[in-house]
Amino acid sequence: MTPDLVVQLTRRSFEVTLMLSAPLLIAGLVVGLLISIFQAVTSIQEATLAFAPKILAVMVALVIFFPWMMSYMTDFTREVYALIATMRQ
């Protein structure tokens, strides 16, 4: 295993992690921002108000994006297995 291969595999792993987490994080961010704006406009300063909608938004995003996420992760796993098959000691 060459150092270039290790760097490439590490870089690709980080890319996959970011791509898989992005839809869920963006959904939570958007809902959190909307709730913050709502709280600022209405002067409601309840800290627990944001948790339930954020959790719900992340769950909905997970249901929507899960098929794509599973496909993306399966493709990455196949790439890694193909790499393992080509390695020699």
pLDDT by residue (tens digit) across 34-57?
Answer: 999 998 899 888 878 888 999 999
| Tokens matching residue 81 | 């297995």
Name the percent of the chain lying above pLDDT 90. Answer: 69
Q: Single out the residue of 55, 63, 65, 64 nearest to residue 31, CA to CA.
A: 55
CB 17, CB 47: distance < 8 Å: no
Residues 17-31: tens digit of each pLDDT = 999 999 999 999 999
pTM: 0.82
Establish how many alpha carbons lie within 13 A of residue 85's alpha carbon, considering only the half-sphere containing its beta carbon: 6
Domain spans of the chain, in order of start: 3-86
C-alpha 10: how far from its chain's center? 17
Is the four-CA dihedral 56, 61, 67, 73 of positive or negative sign?
A: negative
